[in-house]
Amino acid sequence: MSPAGAPMHPAVPEPPIDPEESRLRVGPPADHAAGLKAVQVSLGRALRQMGPVKTARNLLTLNQVDGFDCMSCAWPDPQGHRHTAEFCENGAKAVSWEGVRDTVGPAFFAQHSLTDLAGRTDHWLEKQGRLTHPMIRREGSDHYEPISWGDAFALIGSSLKALASPDEAIFYTSGRASNEAAFLYQLLARAFGTNNLPDCSNMCHESTSVGLASTIGVGKGSVSLQDLHEADLIVVSGQNPGTNHPRMLTALEIAKRNGARILAINPLPEAGLLRFDNPQKPRGLAGHGTGLADKLLQIRSNGDLALWQAIGHLLVAAHGSAIDSAFVEAYTVGFESWKAHIRELDREAVLAATGLTWAEIEEAAGMLATSKRIVHCWAMGITQHHNAVATIKEFVNVALLQGMIGKPGAGLCPVRGHSNVQGDRTMGIWEKPPAIFLDRLRDEFGFEPPRHHGHDAADAVRALRDGRAKVFIALGGNFVAAMPDTAVTAAAMRGSQLTVQISTKLNRSHVDAGRTALILPTLGRTERDLTGGIVQRVTVEDSMSAVHASRGRSAPAGPLLRSEVAIVCGIGAAALGDDIPWPDFAGDYDTIRERIGRVVPGCDGYADKIRTAGGFTMPHGPRDSRTFPTPSGRAVFTVSPLAVLTVPPGRLVLQTLRSHDQFNTTIYGLDDRYRGIKSGRRVVFISAADLAGLGFADGDHVDLISEWEDGIERRADRFRLVEYPTPKGCVAAYYPETNPLVPLDSQAAESGTPTSKWVVVRLVACDPRISQVGARTADIPT
Ligand SMILES: Nc1nc2c(c(=O)[nH]1)N[C@H]1C(S)=C(S)[C@@H](COP(=O)(O)OP(=O)(O)OC[C@H]3O[C@@H](n4cnc5c(=O)[nH]c(N)nc54)[C@H](O)[C@@H]3O)O[C@H]1N2
Ligand SMILES: Nc1nc2c(c(=O)[nH]1)N[C@H]1C(S)=C(S)[C@@H](COP(=O)(O)OP(=O)(O)OC[C@H]3O[C@@H](n4cnc5c(=O)[nH]c(N)nc54)[C@H](O)[C@@H]3O)O[C@H]1N2
Ligand SMILES: [Mo]
């Protein structure tokens, strides 16, 4: 119990605050994205981290037809013509981060104990360089020491075999794993006997997958890049493309040039939504760029369900040309009950939830009513909320009402995060696999896969915490830092019998690790893969279901590194023996692709299809032929009650988001150029009205305390308040520093996604201690 009597979380050492934070400076936010500055930043970093030869080799093959797929996001590559520099500033940062010359090997671990590493920041840990040797922390030891690959595999094999039930093992995947590695990894888990295959999707677009699967029958988006180019209205909800999907700005620019309008819906006026200077064009390097959003609705956090119900209401009331009655009639069910529901709109509730005026909502509805080809895009600002699935279903309702699925220039466009997160799911990384997938797996490999559902990411933490799971294996990622309730997640990991991290860089999950812990170093996307003595390539699927090959060219960071495929095969052989031909798979990835072709729906002839330059696009019934694989064979209108979330007086809603200088838990640097932040991440963006209302001023320091129904005191200390144009009552701060505030049990209905964009907090004044930052200065170049 805390001194105040509130129950507390287990004590786990917290990472320290970066000393650089004492130099934090705050300037005005930027009003446009990219331009010359972006080119300078990316090239400067690439040269510093990789040197000139590797920079040229890596950046010139990035996203080229015979090159490697950028690992920074899942945005698709253009078909046909590609620029020589077909990448963005943040893609170049990701490549440089992987290509660094610094390495972390046995000498490093001899020098740095785990106690020492626990006292380092996340930024410091990853910055040390690439992992080069398999390492083990033996039970009771404070150091990692080298281990041979053979001994590491044998240890994993014997630990798995010794479990009382296969469900005591958890197989986590981050969305960077290739299709080949992912396919083998789910095969390993299921042949072992469990569907415990949580992945980063559970924290990301799970709400999308659930919302779309239950309405249009497919959990994936229904557009191609061409559709964006041809749209006459693009709605961008809950997304910050200037930072997280910068190449999307090129698509928005093309669409604008073709006459499209853009409606952005976001609590924050993100620079990338406002104006774009395309660095690939001379005009972009020097000129004023393209204005993007025609209308920005600065909505309150979580107001989107109400907004879309109001838009649906207005479109229905307008009758006439806004509605595609023929589509509704031919392809949908449930229209009448939805219409009856939407007619009875509680206007006061809508205004309270959205914080918008009725005139603004009418204007937005008018943009939809007067458009013929509409694409709806969304990301984490939508999916990481309690009512995320309902909101996505409401996007679908409006899209169905207007017949915007399965025609050129229109559709649903969830913008995925990790570069292969969609492919991993296609390959069977899913704790709730469909029966058809398991049947085909059984027929191909001759074993009966488990049918009961496995743990998603949050359940995996609970199972480890409660001792129902004992072994945790991660194919990439940084589970401890990415998951909510850091203290609970870290303690759960520290309590497990064995953790295995297949990783490229050192991170918190190697520090808050199991009693016995393995680090298995792997090749990254940029690196040459000569597994089995031949040049291997892998395949990935982007956010628009396009599948293609990826091949790295750079020399691996060290001679001992193995590919993810080889590592999964090594574990498979040790744990399961040779009923499955693991050595053949590792010897030639084409043999894996042949199996994928026979097992994975939509992948017939996979091995051949990916040989064609540019690859192929996965079939998608609604997009291709307005065929909806739902029980009724039609797309489904759904009714969601409108419940407006409120917070107690004096409390604020915190959204946790990304800076321009990070990739998820990987912190490249402490700046956020577009939001005017330099040399610091412990900031809370807050409105002038809330500052005044709560008696604070810009520059004050506060501790954040989150409030949740379990009464536990969750806190994150010492943040500088930054006055910012965010709606009253809604504040924002960076992830993962604020993950300790997100309760593990605060999850979206139906999808279980942690509500990283809805955390109720109160602010408590604190002594700045590490920082003496004064008032906002205007002299910081952005
Ligand atoms: N450079 C870089 N690229 C990345 C990543 C990265 O960390 N760095 N991460 C990758 C991954 S895994 C993902 S999932 C994506 C993430 O891409 P984004 O979803 O763009 O990421 P976030 O930073 O979480 O931004 C969420 C946005 O939603 C807005 N928002 C928050 N709450 C609400 C709300 O209630 N309603 C509305 N309408 N908007 C809201 C926020 O203001 C913010 O603009 O990016 C991928 N690409
Ligand atoms: N509060 C809050 N929490 C969030 C979010 C949020 O918006 N707010 N967003 C959530 C989202 S959308 C996501 S997707 C998750 C991300 O969760 P994860 O995917 O688990 O985390 P990452 O930070 O992307 O993982 C980084 C690590 O991956 C490893 N890595 C990098 N490249 C490779 C590779 O090629 N192979 C292998 N094997 N390993 C590699 C490196 O060791 C690196 O340290 O976080 C979620 N957590
Ligand atoms: Mo994500």
Q: What is the mean pLDDT of residues 655-668?
A: 97
Quick: pLDDT tens for 622-637.
999 999 999 999 999 9
* C-beta 665 within 6 A of ligand 2: yes
* Span from the CA of 536 to the centroid of ligand 3 (angstroms): 27
Among 260-269, 487-496, 612-621, the range scoring the smallest mean pLDDT is: 612-621
**Which of residues 50 and 337 earns the better pLDDT score?**
337
Of ligand 2's atoms, which has the minimum distance to the CA of residue 666? Answer: 23
Ligand nearest to the CA of 477: 2
Q: Whose CA is nearest to atom 34 of ligand 2?
A: 524
* Span from the CA of 201 to the centroid of ligand 3 (angstroms): 6
* Phi (first) and psi of residue 732, to 5 degrees: -140, 145
Residue 369 burial by CB count (10 A; 0-12/13-18/19+): exposed, middle or buried? middle
User: What is the 3 state secondary structure string of 513-535?
Assistant: CCCEEEEEEECCCCECCCHHHCC
Does the pLDDT of residue 705 top 90, yes or no? yes
Percent of the chain with pLDDT over 90: 83
Q: What is the mean pLDDT of residues 126-144?
A: 98
Does the pLDDT of residue 87 top 80, yes or no? no
Rounded distance, CA 755 to CA 407, Å? 33
Confirm if 78 and 100 have CB atoms less than 8 A apart. Answer: no
Residue 250 burial by CB count (10 A; 0-12/13-18/19+): exposed, middle or buried? buried
Quick: pLDDT tens for 441-454.
999 999 999 999 99
Percent of the chain with pLDDT over 70: 94
Angle between helices 347-354 and 304-317 (to 10 degrees): 140
* Span from the CA of 155 to the centroid of ligand 1 (angstroms): 39
User: What is the 3 state secondary structure string of 717-769?
Assistant: EEEEEEECCCCCCEEEEECCCCHHHCCCCCECCCCCCECCCCEEEEEEECCCC
Query: DSSP states of 200-240 as a string?
Result: GGGGTTHHHHHHHHTTTS-SS----HHHHHH-SEEEEES--
* Span from the CA of 474 to the centroid of ligand 2 (angstroms): 11
Counting ligand 2 atoms within 8 A of each CB, the residue from 203, 520, 550 with the most, and so the one to mutate, is: 203
Does the pLDDT of residue 286 top 50, yes or no? no
* C-beta 176 within 6 A of ligand 2: yes
Quick: pLDDT tens for 738-763.
999 999 999 999 999 999 999 999 99
> Do β-strands 169-173 and 471-475 pair in parallel, antiparallel, or remain unpaired?
parallel
* Span from the CA of 84 to the centroid of ligand 3 (angstroms): 28
The pLDDT score that the predictor gives to residue 275 is 85
Q: What is the mean pLDDT of residues 463-488?
A: 98
* C-beta 199 within 6 A of ligand 2: no
* C-beta 203 within 6 A of ligand 2: yes
Confirm if 502 and 484 have CB atoms less than 8 A apart. Answer: no
> Which is nearest to 197 in space by CA: 515, 568, 494, 519?
568
Of ligand 1's atoms, which has the minimum distance to the CA of residue 384? Answer: 32
Quick: pLDDT tens for 343-355.
999 999 999 999 9
* Span from the CA of 103 to the centroid of ligand 3 (angstroms): 27
Quick: pLDDT tens for 514-551.
999 999 999 999 999 999 999 999 999 999 999 999 99
Which strands sit side by side in the sheet containing 261-265, from one edge to the other? Answer: 295-297, 261-265, 233-237, 374-378, 411-414
Counting ligand 2 atoms within 8 A of each CB, the residue from 171, 563, 665, 737 with the most, and so the one to mutate, is: 665
Residue 588 burial by CB count (10 A; 0-12/13-18/19+): exposed, middle or buried? middle
* Span from the CA of 478 to the centroid of ligand 2 (angstroms): 5
pLDDT band, very low/low/confident/very high, at 777 (cuts 50, 70, 90): very low
Does the pLDDT of residue 280 top 70, yes or no? no
* Phi (first) and psi of residue 181, to 5 degrees: -65, -40
Confirm if 422 and 243 have CB atoms less than 8 A apart. Answer: no
Confirm if 412 and 216 have CB atoms less than 8 A apart. Answer: yes
Does the pLDDT of residue 153 top 70, yes or no? yes
The pLDDT score that the predictor gives to residue 772 is 39
Residue 243 Rama label (left phi>0; alpha psi -120 to 50; beta): alpha
Q: What is the mean pLDDT of residues 328-341?
A: 98
Confirm if 149 and 134 have CB atoms less than 8 A apart. Answer: yes
> Which is nearest to 736 in space by CA: 504, 477, 500?
477
* Span from the CA of 181 to the centroid of ligand 1 (angstroms): 27
Q: Whose CA is nearest to atom 39 of ligand 2?
A: 476
Q: Which helix (H) or strand (E) holds 590?
A: helix 589-599
* Span from the CA of 379 to the centroid of ligand 3 (angstroms): 9
Does the pLDDT of residue 3 top 50, yes or no? no
Confirm if 732 and 722 have CB atoms less than 8 A apart. Answer: no
Does the pLDDT of residue 241 top 80, yes or no? yes
pLDDT band, very low/low/confident/very high, at 593 (cuts 50, 70, 90): very high
* Span from the CA of 240 to the centroid of ligand 1 (angstroms): 5
* Span from the CA of 416 to the centroid of ligand 1 (angstroms): 10
Counting ligand 2 atoms within 8 A of each CB, the residue from 68, 121, 200 with the most, and so the one to mutate, is: 200
User: What is the 3 state secondary structure string of 130-197?
Assistant: EECCCEEECCCCCCCEECCHHHHHHHHHHHHHCCCCHHHEEEEECCCCCHHHHHHHHHHHHHHCCCCC
> Do β-strands 616-617 and 546-550 pair in parallel, antiparallel, or remain unpaired?
antiparallel
Ligand nearest to the CA of 419: 1
* Span from the CA of 493 to the centroid of ligand 2 (angstroms): 16
* C-beta 127 within 6 A of ligand 2: no
Quick: pLDDT tens for 366-422.
999 999 999 999 999 999 999 999 999 999 999 999 999 999 999 999 999 999 999
The pLDDT score that the predictor gives to residue 5 is 57
Rounded distance, CA 200 to CA 220, Å? 16
* Span from the CA of 736 to the centroid of ligand 3 (angstroms): 13
The overall average pLDDT reported for the chain is 93
CB contact set of 261 (below 8 Å; sequence gap of 6+): 232, 233, 234, 294, 295, 367, 371
Please give all residues whose CB falls under 5 A of ion ligand 3, grouped by chain where several chains appear.
204, 417
Does the pLDDT of residue 774 top 50, yes or no? no
Rounded distance, CA 654 to CA 128, Å? 32
Does the pLDDT of residue 287 top 90, yes or no? no
* C-beta 716 within 6 A of ligand 2: no
Rounded distance, CA 609 to CA 549, Å? 10
Contacts 24+ apart (CB under 8 A), 569-572: 569/184, 570/149, 570/152, 570/153, 571/153, 571/156, 571/157, 571/188, 571/473, 571/500, 572/184, 572/187, 572/188, 572/191
Rounded distance, CA 103 to CA 642, Å? 53
Ligand nearest to the CA of 75: 1
Counting ligand 1 atoms within 8 A of each CB, the residue from 266, 302, 666 with the most, and so the one to mutate, is: 266
Tell me which amino acid residue 226 is.
Q
Of ligand 2's atoms, which has the minimum distance to the CA of residue 736? Answer: 1
The pLDDT score that the predictor gives to residue 288 is 64
CA distances from 724 to 186, 602, 690, 772 (A): 45, 47, 10, 20
Domains of the chain: 19-30+645-779 (2.40.40.20), 51-200+420-613 (3.40.50.740), 206-414 (3.40.228.10)
* Phi (first) and psi of residue 375, to 5 degrees: -110, 130
Ligand nearest to the CA of 675: 1
* C-beta 504 within 6 A of ligand 2: yes
Of ligand 1's atoms, which has the minimum distance to the CA of residue 297? Answer: 38
The pLDDT score that the predictor gives to residue 778 is 34
* Span from the CA of 125 to the centroid of ligand 2 (angstroms): 14
Which residues have CB under 6 Å of ligand 1? 72-73, 90, 204, 237-240, 243-245, 265-268, 270, 299, 301-302, 304, 379-381, 385, 417-418, 655, 657-658, 662-664, 757
Does the pLDDT of residue 696 top 90, yes or no? yes
The verdict on whether omega for the bond into residue 736 sits within 30 degrees of 0, i.e. cis, is: yes
The pLDDT score that the predictor gives to residue 224 is 95
Among 591-595, 641-645, 688-692, 718-722, the range scoring the smallest mean pLDDT is: 641-645
The pLDDT score that the predictor gives to residue 1 is 39
* Span from the CA of 25 to the centroid of ligand 2 (angstroms): 27
* C-beta 477 within 6 A of ligand 2: yes
Does the pLDDT of residue 7 top 80, yes or no? no
* C-beta 208 within 6 A of ligand 2: no
Helices (H) and strands (E) in the chain, counts: 33, 31
Determine the 3-state secondary structure of 353 from DSSP. Answer: helix
Q: What is the mean pLDDT of residues 242-262?
A: 94
* C-beta 387 within 6 A of ligand 2: no
Angle between helices 304-317 and 335-343 (to 10 degrees): 100
